[in-house]
Amino acid sequence: MQLIDGKKVATEIRKELKAKIDELKSQGKPVPGLVAILAGENPASQIYVSSKSKACEEIGMKTKVEKFPTTFSEEELINVIKKYNSDKEYHGILVQLPLPKHINENKIIEAISPKKDVDGFHPMSIGNLVIGKETFVSCTPAGIQELLKRYYINTNGKHVVVVGRSNIVGKPIANLMLQKKYYANSIVTVCHSAAEDLSYFTKQADILIAAIGQPEMIKRNMVKEGVVVIDVGINRIEDKNSSKGYRIVGDVAFNEVAAKASYITPVPGGVGPMTIAMLLSNTFKAYKLYGDTNE
Ligand code: NDP
């Protein structure tokens, strides 16, 4: 069994991006920029936004966090997005979700210019992904594919079974693996909570992608020998031996499944670190593609 070290790969990607940005700087050129927009007081969102912004700073990217109170209106938020849609210094716009309840998330996502949609949540980005056009792919699915690439895992004609059909993980990774491209071209099955016998499907997986949000749900008897396991889940479970009183586990019972797997991602340190790395990568891509043409 080989461990897929997402932390190591994410560090490599950040270093590669930093080198490219250092080169731009040495040539006196502008650098890519990401603006993160946060509305409301959600503590987890505040932590996510500050870690994304810190990651930008570390590689020399321009970054700014725009914070607004919970009372901020939908219209005011749309106006802020419109301002950044035409700001040449910011190539990526990230609106941290969830938003306060009175704000319609779909309207906000649709207000972001598809040229700056580095989270890949805009319907145009999702549509382009489905029809196989070059686009911004949301960061967690893009990170999963990048891990498969960097470990040279053959996906061509392999049976990928995705458990979970969310808009941010399950559906985009299924569409990504279905594309007629390198490190894709797979036979894809998507499962969800209506599956009466989930293991009937998971046992057929050459590559199993678990994005369920249920601690250690995938057990040894649910996978076949030699499976490649990508565990997206991040779940907190009680742990009296830990000073925090809890520990983080994935959707896969790691030790027992690892014994049968050919490759497996750990939690933490697998898919998780890739998400921010791919956000940086998408922002760099936005700069390269549209840096000179932003409205
Ligand atoms: P959602 O809750 O949006 O989706 C979970 C999916 O799992 C749903 O499609 C649901 O089915 C399905 N599901 C739930 N229970 C079962 C079951 N018993 N059998 C089969 N399918 C089931 O979660 P997300 O996709 O947002 O996230 C999934 C996990 O990944 C979470 O632990 C989350 O924290 C983590 N995550 C990690 C990220 C990272 O590493 N950076 C980023 C995003 C998420 P149904 O549609 O029928 O309800």
For the chain, give every domain's residue range. 28-112, 139-272
Per-residue confidence in pLDDT tens, the chain, 295 aa: 999 999 999 999 999 999 999 999 999 999 999 999 999 999 999 999 999 999 999 999 999 999 999 999 999 999 999 999 999 999 999 999 999 999 999 999 999 999 999 999 999 999 999 999 999 999 999 999 999 999 999 999 999 999 999 999 999 999 999 999 999 999 999 999 999 999 999 999 999 999 999 999 999 999 999 999 999 999 999 999 999 999 999 999 999 999 999 999 999 999 999 999 999 999 999 999 999 654 4
Rounded Cα gap, residues 70 and 38, in angstroms: 9
240 is catalytic: no
| 167: enclosing H helix or E strand | none
Is the whole model's pTM more than 0.85, yes or no? yes
Rounded Cα gap, residues 238 and 247, in angstroms: 6
Angstrom distances, CA of residue 116 to CA of 2, 88, 109, 125, 226: 36, 11, 11, 10, 40
46 is catalytic: no
The fold of the 28-112 domain, in CATH, is Rossmann fold (3.40.50)
Ligand 1: residues whose CB is within 6 Å? Answer: 140, 163-166, 168-170, 191-195, 198, 211-214, 232-235, 271-272, 275
d(CA 62, ligand 1 centre) in Å: 32
CATH topology identical between 28-112 and 139-272: yes
CATH superfamily of 139-272: NAD(P)-binding Rossmann-like Domain (3.40.50.720)
